[in-house]
Amino acid sequence: MDEKEHIRLIGGSANSELAEEISSKLGVPLTPIEVKRFNDGEIYCKVKNSVRGCKVFVIQSTSNPVNENLMELLILVDALKRASAKEITAIIPYYGYGRQDRKAEPREPITAKLVANLLTKAGVDRVITFDLHVEQIQGFFDIPVDNLEAIPQIAEYLLDKKIVDPIVVSPDVGGTKRAIRLAKLIDAPLAIIDKRRPAHGESKIMNVVGEVKGKTVILIDDIIDTAGTISKAAEVMLEKGAREVYICASHAVFSGKAIEKLGSDAIKEVIVTNTIKIADEKKIGKIKIISVASLLSESIKRVYEGLPLGVLFEGIYDRLAKKR
């Protein structure tokens, strides 16, 4: 793209590698910013070059440390608004607090909605994100939200591996739609695990709907956080006679003992994306990271030019059809 035009790209602290990858794919340099902390921990952000009249794209996942990254994004947007940016698009590859999407018990907050309010109030005009925990979060905003998906890229990777006798398994009932989507794209059957959560951060497998015996299981979730859900599911799949277990997820939160659990012999390979920056020490051999940079850079280009995003996946769908 012609960098003289009124487009500006800004990479927040959360995932500078992804921001740089997007910048190089678009041929648009990152606008320099200064981010620092005051002695009391308050964040200071300054955009170093003019953004007056520009369409600005700020790339910032609200991943761990979620409050720091969210606050940095809000402050950057405020700075851009006050600097007369024409339009501000928040590219939030991982939307933190997305799992707090409903009031399940009395006196609970709906923090995913609060975050949407904060972003809108700060001055965001549009959001581009990936695989929201639940699609309804789009409705928490009264501005356009493009919720892109990583599943077609994951599907292509799996088809290229030519996995023998695959079956796609959802680790919980809530993820069934996601698993159906992957199963269709790779033309595989489906099974569902009935998982319950006795308390926050705890999970219990009650039942498996479907036959996984002798099959190569592909477990798909949106998020791997502590890896408790997925590692327990992998063990149960092997107990039920599965041949091997692959794990896929869009967002590699990888907190607590996640890497230890993913290292277990029960898991053959872990396929994730780079919506969240993965620290080098967490990149163990069996983790395959698929980049979302191409999809995001094409989305930025299309939003900038006022073109629809629906066609973004056409190329990959054609390739998948040939590979099935």
| Residue ranges that bind ligand R5P, judged by CB under 6 A | 99, 171, 174-175, 203, 221-230
Q: Which is nearer to ligand R5P, 26 or 258 (CB)?
A: 258
Q: What is the DSSP letter of 39?
A: T
Decide if 191 contacts 218 (C-beta within 8 A).
Answer: no
Kindly state the smallest distance separating residue 231's Cβ from ligand R5P, in Å: 8
Kindly state the smallest distance separating residue 174's Cβ from ligand R5P, in Å: 5
Q: Report the 10 Å Cβ neighbour count for 26.
A: 20
Kindly state the smallest distance separating residue 256's Cβ from ligand R5P, in Å: 8
Tell me, yes or no, if 195 is annotated catalytic.
yes
Order of strands across the sheet with 216-224? 204-209, 190-196, 166-170, 216-224, 244-252, 269-273, 287-290
Residue 78 phi, psi (nearest 5): -60, -45
Q: Omega before 65 cis (within 30°)?
A: yes
Between CA 80 and CA 93 the distance in angstroms is 20
Q: Which is nearer to ligand R5P, 43 or 180 (CB)?
A: 180
Torsion, CA 156, CA 272, CA 148, CA 317, rounded to 10: 0
Q: Which is nearer to ligand R5P, 75 or 193 (CB)?
A: 193
Q: Which is nearer to ligand R5P, 11 or 175 (CB)?
A: 175
Beta bridge partners of 55: 7, 87
Given the residues 195, 232, 261, 277, the one annotated as active site: 195
Kindly state the smallest distance separating residue 6's Cβ from ligand R5P, in Å: 39
**Cα–Cα separations (whole angstroms), residue 256 to 95, 201, 225, 260:** 19, 11, 8, 9
Kindly state the smallest distance separating residue 324's Cβ from ligand R5P, in Å: 27
Q: Which is nearer to ligand R5P, 215 or 251 (CB)?
A: 251
Catalytic residues: 195
